[in-house]
Amino acid sequence: MRTSRIVPAAALSAIAALALAGCVDNSAAQNGGSPSSSPSIQVTKDDALAAALPEAVRSSGKLVIGMDDTYPPNEFKDAAGNPVGWEVDLANAIGSKLGVKADFAIAKFDNIIPSVTGGKDDFGMSSFTDTTEREQQVDFVNYYSAGILWASAAGKTVDPNNACGLKVAVQTATYEDTDEVPAKSAACTQAGKPAIEVLRYDTQDDATNAVILGKADALSADSPVTLYAISKTDGKLQAAGETFDVAPYGLAVAKGSTLTPTLQKTVQALIDDGTYRAILDQWGVSDGAVTTAEVNAASKG
């Protein structure tokens, strides 16, 4: 089920603006402007959960986690090129609760699910929207609710519900690319109006810069990502409309994997002991917090 939720811009206003030659570059969290993994958030190992891990994971001492680190503030690179973001912190907390290391396998977004189904990665954690279509490939352990929010150049009015004929930038293979914008475009053509031209980019930074540079009329991304992009562009972007179509994020795990119930219980344990909320509060994204770690919420309606 999807309901409307407004994510307050104030939640991310504490993140410092960074403008480089009129463009956004989220590869570096510098000058204290962005939170980073916090050693102050201590996580206690749960021996019972750790014992439930698959033998291959226990013997290796690590969970291999597929991630595309180009989607700030969820996951991106710091100045040294290391992955940071609230999902990185949550992944590290999952590893700590299970007594293993979170080993990030950085890859393009659309390569992560194949790596999970092929057994290369233990699971994927890269802002995956849980959809019934994706559930045909993987199972999801749900841990967050995010909506969709468009942004346009400052001073340029764009209505996401009346965008026929416009150019809209998205990151390739995201829900906005595969479902949301194409559905809006189809509605345009069915009404005899011009289609939306979807401009696809490998990274969210490139999609954001396309709007700043005038190549696109707007961008569409998950709400915390859009708000973060707005905060990083020194007044060059503005929200276009309000957040809509809230849906769950999920850890992508191979279908029927014995790891799924262990991850579900681990995420729930982090919710219950306050670690989860502390991480979200640190990054200013607690509006999307959940109280229950479900499995395959999309198919449950």
Is the pTM here over 0.75, yes or no?
yes
The residue behind tokens 């640190």 is 282
The residue behind tokens 């194409």 is 182
Predicted confidence (pLDDT) at residue 175 exceeds the cutoff of 60: yes
Estimate to the nearest angstrom the gap between the alpha carbon of 115 and the chain centroid.
Answer: 18
Distance CA 285, CA 281 (A): 6
pLDDT at 37: 53
Q: Are 289 and 224 in contact (CB under 8 A)?
A: no
Cα distances from 170 to residues 10, 145, 162, 174, 207, in angstroms, run: 24, 19, 17, 8, 6
pLDDT at 14: 30
Mean pLDDT of 81-102: 97
State pLDDT tens for residues 264-293.
999 999 999 999 999 998 888 888 999 999
State pLDDT tens for residues 12-61.
333 323 332 335 455 443 323 344 455 568 899 999 999 999 999 999 99
pLDDT at 20: 28
Predicted confidence (pLDDT) at residue 224 exceeds the cutoff of 70: yes
Mean pLDDT of 133-140: 97
Q: Are 82 and 71 in contact (CB under 8 A)?
A: no
pLDDT at 39: 55
Residue 48, token pair as written in the block: 């019972």
pLDDT at 38: 56
Distance CA 46, CA 106 (A): 27
Predicted confidence (pLDDT) at residue 143 exceeds the cutoff of 50: yes
Q: Are 239 and 149 in contact (CB under 8 A)?
A: yes
State pLDDT tens for residues 61-91.
999 999 999 899 999 999 999 999 999 999 9
